[in-house]
Amino acid sequence: MIWKEVVCLGDSLTYGARDEYGRSYPAELARILTDETGETWFCHNCGVNGDTSSDVLRRCWRVFASHPKVRLVTLLVGTNDVAVPMPLEIYRDNLLQIIAAARIHGMHVILGELPPAGFHPGVLGRQDALGAYSAEVRRVAGELGLATCSFDGLAEHLVDGLHFGHEGYLRMARMWADALLRLGRAGAA
For 12-48, what is each residue's pLDDT tens digit?
999 999 999 999 999 999 999 999 999 999 999 999 9
d(CA 104, CA 153): 34
Residue of higher predicted confidence among 81 and 126:
81
Q: How many helices (H) and strands (E) does the chain have?
A: 7, 5
pLDDT at 11 over 60: yes
- Give the chain's mean pLDDT: 92
pLDDT digits (tens, 9 = 90+) for 155-174: 899 998 889 999 999 999 99
| 189 — pLDDT class (breaks 50, 70, 90) | very low
> Containing H/E element for 44?
strand 42-47
Q: C-alpha angle with apex 187: 184 to 188, nearest 5 degrees?
A: 90
Distance set, CA 134 to CA 78, 90, 94, 112, 129 (Å): 9, 14, 14, 8, 9
pLDDT at 64 over 90: yes
Task: Check residue 158 and report its DSSP letter.
Answer: B
Q: What is the pLDDT of residue 117?
A: 79
d(CA 15, CA 24): 6
Structural Rg of the chain based on CA atoms: 15
> How far is C-alpha 67 from the geometric centre of its chain's CA atoms?
17
Which backbone phi and psi does 46 adopt, to 5 degrees? -110, 40
Question: If one looks up domain 5-188 in CATH, what number appears?
Answer: 3.40.50.1110
Nearest of 51, 96, 93, 46 to residue 72 by alpha carbon: 46
